[in-house]
Amino acid sequence: MPIRQLTWGCQFKCGQQWSSKKKDIEKHEESCWKNPLNKSCLTCEHGKEVREGYDCKTGDGGCAYRECNNPNMDNPENFKRNRDDTRDLPWVNCSLWENKKP
């Protein structure tokens, strides 16, 4: 006979976190990049992921980095982040953050 299991998932639908313990998910949600309270690139109107040389048909190649299209960004070149570097993570608590329009 099958057994029923209950799992909890991130309400921000990041797809990265699942657990049988509700407290684990609540802790994750506090720092989730898709939580608008964290003001990350992923929820910002100006945040954009750029993939150079990426073939969307095959999923091959390319370098991914994040760009900020906010006109108030002092130096957008400083914002570029390479996949080969830990800087490819989204920024959080950005002072220029604006909620992404639906």
> pTM to 2 decimals?
0.69
Q: Is residue 95 part of a domain?
A: no
Tell me: do 51 and 69 sit in the same domain: yes
Count of domains for the chain: 2
Tell me: do 84 and 51 sit in the same domain: yes
| Host domain of residue 80 | 47-88
Q: Is residue 20 part of a domain?
A: yes
Task: Kindly report the three-state secondary structure assignment for every residue of the chain.
Answer: CCCCCCCEECCCCCCCCEECCHHHHHHHHHHCCCCHHHCCHHHECCEEEEEECCECCCCECCEEEEEECCCCCCCHHHHCCCCCCHHHCCCCCCCCCCECCC
Q: Is residue 56 part of a domain?
A: yes
Q: Each residue's pLDDT tens digit in the chain (102 positions)?
A: 888 888 999 999 888 788 999 999 999 999 998 999 999 888 999 988 777 666 667 766 666 667 788 888 776 555 554 445 545 567 788 888 999 887
Q: Is residue 69 part of a domain?
A: yes
